[in-house]
Structure 1
Amino acid sequence: MMAELESHAWSVAEIDSIPVWDLANIGVGVRNVVLRDADGRFVGRPDTYSPAGLAWEVDSVRHHSEATDFARTLERNVRYLAVGITVLQTLPRRLRSEPEAVAAELRAAYRRACANPPPTIHIDTR
């Protein structure tokens, strides 16, 4: 449990995402850091971020299906894309039921991110 607490995971789903990220074998990811664009504007706070330019969001239906929540999710994804970050969304239930498939999706998204120029962002770990 100490490793999960030190991982900066904020939810059970984020804790469940840790072994799936490791299974994908795509390097180090940082959790729940603030990303800012070159002008210092807030871009997002991904559940996990790879410096290659991949934001992984574990988005539950419960927290993203109401009209205002859904709109915020779309706006977040647009901000990621506007600065050149590849974003992958995963439903929490798939972390336990389909970890290999999710890991394959992470690898594909990571390859896509690596094929693009690195985004010009600042990672704020505070």
Structure 2
Amino acid sequence: MTNHSCWPNAEADFPLHSATLEVRALRPIDKGEEVTVSYIEESLPLHQRREALQKAAEALLVVMKVPECSDSRKLEELVARRTGLPLTVVSEVRQYSRSLMKPQVSSDKRGYAPHEKLPETAP
């Protein structure tokens, strides 16, 4: 998945009745820049955002102490049980997430990578 930022460059959504995760850029993302999302409601007052982040961090630490987290397959099984998603979907999402960390090769015939700005055209 992605890390938290109070100034995220993307948003993530699980559409209803779907086993997919949609990630959309909120602004242009530079080559090599980490894709981040906000784990909390950004409109909350500062003290409530801090409390929410603290709770999220504590929950993550608890999950990371679970023995299943050290084994990829067991972690996928744990996530599948907790989310109710099929194990195949969890595996595919993890594989896709890992692929996002690798350099992307563009299939664009002009050779532009997905992060490159296309040349401007005259009107």
Which protein has the bigger strand share?
1
TM-score range, shorter chain: under 0.3
Q: Which has the higher contact order (CA 8 A, sep 6+)?
A: 1
Q: TM-score, length-normalised on structure 1?
A: 0.27
Q: TM-score, length-normalised on structure 2?
A: 0.27
